[in-house]
Copies of this chain bind each other. A is one copy, B any other.
Amino acid sequence: MSGKNPGMDLMTLSALAEPNRMHIVELLRDGPLTVGEIAERLGLRQPQASKHLKVLSDNGILEVKAEANRRIYKLRPEPFQALDSWVKSFRRIMEDRFDNLEDYLRELQNKEQSKDSLK
């Protein structure tokens, strides 16, 4: 309805905010892996790995391909694209040097004062 809302998905963020899940995501940068490989490389017990992987894929961050006995997990591009476009919508904030200008000037002034008080 309103129209200017990028509406970043909070589930994506909270899924990524858990350390083990972030590790999984970082790990999968280099390519798809099976549950066992992920668990092993991260020092996780298999059930916990599966649970985290479920959270990640339930939220669209990963996708699975069943390969016989194994499940191969890999990153999906969409959530990263969404996150990217959301963050980009803060460019005005990121560019800055404008919101902080007054702080900067205030700091300068404080320094000047300090010098003055030494005279």
Contacts and interface: CB of A to CB of B under 8 A. Distances in A.
A29 interface: yes
Contacts of A14: 13-14, 17
15 contacts: A10-B19, A13-B14, A14-B14, A29-B90, A29-B93, A32-B99, A74-B99, A77-B100, A80-B87, A80-B90, A80-B94, A81-B94, A83-B87, A84-B87, A84-B94
Given A10-B17, A19-B10, A22-B10, A96 B84 contact: no
A8 interface: yes
A22 B17 CA distance: 14
Contact of A77 (B10, B83, B96): B96
A116 interface: no
Given A5-B26, A10-B18, A84-B94, 12 more contacts: A8-B22, A13-B16, A13-B17, A14-B17, A29-B92, A29-B93, A74-B99, A75-B99, A77-B96, A80-B90, A80-B93, A84-B84
